[in-house]
Chains A and B, each alone.
Chain A
Amino acid sequence: MQTVLSIAVDALAYGMVLFVISIGLSVTMGLMRVVNLAHGAFAMIGGYIASYAARDLGVGYGVAVLIAVFGTILIAIPIERLLYRRIYGAPELTQVLMTIGITFCIIGIANFVFGPTLKTIPLPPELQGSINLGFRAVATHRLFAILCGLVVAGALWYLIEKTAFGVKLRASVDNAAMAAALGVRTQIVYAVSFAIAIGLAAFGGVVGAELLPVEPYYALRYMVTFLVVVSIGGAGSIPGALLACLLLGGIDTTGRYLMPEFGEFFFYLAVIAIVCVFPRGLAGRAK
């Protein structure tokens, strides 16, 4: 029983970290219809900025997170204006080529500026160490990551489903020309949602750094996992992404506990099974 509970805790924590990092990608892919392979690169930039702010500038963790999120958005704005704006609505292959190119550029720059070694983001004393749950110890920052995941999920759902901006965003996505004709300034809507997606990537990069350490190849190393989460959840669906993360986190963690030799066999087996039954993802909408 103890073992089951402790696997459940691990699965929840791992799933939530995946969720925080992947949800931004779900927004770009599902709502903006851009296959953004540079998503991991933006998460990495967030991690680097937070690491630099906390270690070299000596600011607190909370401030470092804010600097990372807004710093990454600042970096992303010119990239959006100059590069991404050309590929909205372009064929997927064009988008893939463009964004993978951006990823390689960012990897090269990160390697040059920060060097190839691992960078850590020092945690505040409150998040260090572990909390005893009675049956086992759990790292405090994992509980923090779970909390962050829940907050992000709630806030994003509210923004998209309940606010005027969310209505405009959904309208622009479904029919840009019609939305524009009705007075929605689609370019601004796109720019803002791109900024939100990038900010979420950076936030995830920082919060998840304990699990997925920041180094130049971060941008590519974890991209497959992020893409799997989005395609299983159904691009653009927040409850779908949440469900996918918890499900995949659970399967991966259990498999790793029971049969580590099998590696990610169960993870990908589950992915294949889910994609067979739900080709558009768990909560994907038919086109």
Chain B
Amino acid sequence: MRRIIMAALAAVSLGGMAHADTIKVGVIGPFSGPFALQGKNFKAGIDAYMAMHGDTVGDDKVEIIYRDVPAPDPAQSKALAQELIIKEGVQYLTGFYFTPDAMAVTPLLTQGNVPMVIMNAATSAIVTKSPFVVRTSFTLWQTSTPIAQVARDKGVDKVMSVVSDYGPGVDAENAFKAAFTAAGGTVVEAIRMPLSTNDFSPIMQRIRDSGAQAVFAFLPSGPTTLGFVKAYNQNGLKEAGIQFFAPGDLTQESDLPALGDTALGILTTFHYSVAHDSPENKAFVEAASRAIGNPAELSFPAVGAFDGMHVIYKMIEATDGEQDAQKAVDAVKGLAWESPRGPVEIDPESRHITENIYLREVAKSDDGTYYNKEIQTFEKQGDPGLAAAN
């Protein structure tokens, strides 16, 4: 009996909160540990958005609650999401740097009546796991497909693919292979290296022996990337004229100072360069640099977070602050806006972001810093990965 009264009370109080003054948004990401830099970028993007657009939507105040999952850990991610939904009463879940962390949370969304806005996790299939998932980042398929055309345009027929042996690496390999073969090229060999590889000289020798004219590579950003790019230079592949193509993770802005001259001239395709030339991006970089403290640490997860917040603000606006996941998600289907990365749109079918993919070259600016210079634009790229999975 008592329980029923409590439940009734809870229901009444929930109903009374139609015009709640505080809307809680739960952010799950790596805020400590080896990937803390990425979490820091999430926070910088969120802070930048709230600094530019205020922390209220209508009469509702937006409150951000951070939860830390230092390394990919689906169980912990799920537990924290549950805690956020039940104990903190969040209306939106967002963040999610790693695919497994996002996958683990998707089964909770319907019951919790909570939409999920993914700010990074880049495996195509996540959006199919629940109708309440919206993504504002990119997929490996999306960023790796255009580079195949670039390679063909440069007159390359034979490519060797070298990727790290984990989900995104396999995605990158498949995407490149599909696009490059379709464009009439041949992938002479495809190898997958373990994530823990730190000496890449034998791999470079192997690339040389394969007779490929170019190498397509994907590694997670961080220490391994540095080792790989250095090995590419020092083993004389650059001098031998073997070209280097990769998705933009390899030349992430925060790694560029360390990569230095060795990265010059590497061609990558990606959805966002901090050096993108537009008034929107200028304003974003200024606000985000202030939020992150050290501008050299700013990179792509910040823009995913910035646009993620934009989507959440639109959702709050559409639902007038009430908790209604279906209405919120429906409201942003087809939503188009000018992001710091260029024009973007939430695809109504897949709920994934349609965006421009840019071909960039690592260049040195006059003040001696390195940046990703955009030299070609592939407009309105959707996610080819979903089609490939079906």
Residues of chain A whose beta carbon lies under 8 Å from any beta carbon of chain B? 3, 6-7, 10, 13-14, 111, 115-120, 129-130, 136-139, 142, 210-213, 215-218, 221-222, 252-254, 256-257, 260-261, 263-264
A117 to B236, Cβ gap below 8 A?
no
Q: List 10 A-B contacts (CB under 8 A).
A: A10-B202, A117-B37, A130-B234, A211-B199, A212-B223, A212-B227, A213-B227, A222-B198, A260-B206, A264-B196
Complex: how many Å from CA A213 to CA B221? 13
Contact of A215 among B194, B205, B206, B222 (CB under 8 A): B222
B235 at the interface (CB under 8 A from A): yes
The residue from A115, A119, A137, A211 contacting B294, defined by CB atoms under 8 A apart? A115
With beta carbons under 8 angstroms apart, the residue of A116, A138, A218, A252 that contacts B199 is A252
A264 to B193, CA, bound (A): 9
Contact of B192 among A137, A217, A261, A264 (CB under 8 A): A261
B9 within 8 A of partner (CB): no
- Closest CB in chain B relative to A11 CB, distance in Å: 8
Partner of B226, one of A139, A213, A253: A213
Docked pose: A260 CA to B230 CA in angstroms: 19
B179 at the binding interface (Cβ < 8 Å): no
Q: Contacts A210-B230, A261-B191 given; 12 further ones with Cβ under 8 A? A: A115-B297, A116-B37, A116-B297, A117-B255, A120-B226, A137-B236, A211-B198, A213-B258, A256-B199, A257-B205, A260-B192, A263-B165
Give CA–CA (A213, B226) in the complex, Å. Answer: 7
Whole-angstrom CA separation of A138 from B205 in the bound complex? 11
Q: Chain B: interface secondary structure?
A: helix
**A2, chain B: closest CB distance, angstroms:** 9
Residues of B within 8 A of A215 (CB): 222-223
Q: A222 — which chain B residues lie within 8 A by C-beta?
A: 198
Complex interface: chain B residues within 8 A of A10 (CB): 199, 201-202, 205
Give A21 Cβ to nearest chain B Cβ, in Å. Answer: 12
State whether A221 touches B165 (Cβ < 8 A).
no
* A257–chain B nearest beta-carbon distance, Å: 4
Q: Shortest Cβ distance from A123 into chain B, in angstroms?
A: 11
How many Å lie between the Cα of A3 and that of B201 in the bound state? 12
- Complex Cα spacing A222 to B257, Å: 23
* Interchain CB contact under 8 A, A14 and B199: yes
**Does B254 count as interface, using CB distance less than 8 angstroms?**
yes
CB neighbours (8 Å) of B193 from chain A are 256, 260, 263
* Minimal Cβ-Cβ distance residue in A for B294: A115
Residues from chain B with Cβ under 8 Å of A216 in the complex = 34
For the complex, what is the distance from the CA of A130 to the CA of B201, rounded to whole Å?
Answer: 13
B37 touches A3 (CB 8 A): no
Q: How far is the CA of A219 from the CA of B239 in the complex (A)?
A: 34
Contact partner of A136 (CB less than 8 A), chosen from B165, B196, B222, B235, is B235
Task: Determine if A264 and B194 form an interchain contact, defined as CB atoms under 8 angstroms apart.
Answer: yes
Minimum Cβ distance to chain A for residue B291 (Å): 15
Residues of A within 8 A of B227 (CB): 211-213
- Nearest-neighbour CB distance to chain B for A249, whole angstroms, equals 8
- Given A260-B193, A263-B193, A263-B196, check contact A139 B234 (CB 8 Å): yes
A13 CA to B234 CA, complexed, in Å: 13
Instruction: Write out the residue numbers on chain B whose beta carbons fall within 8 Å of the beta carbon of A120.
Output: 226, 258, 260
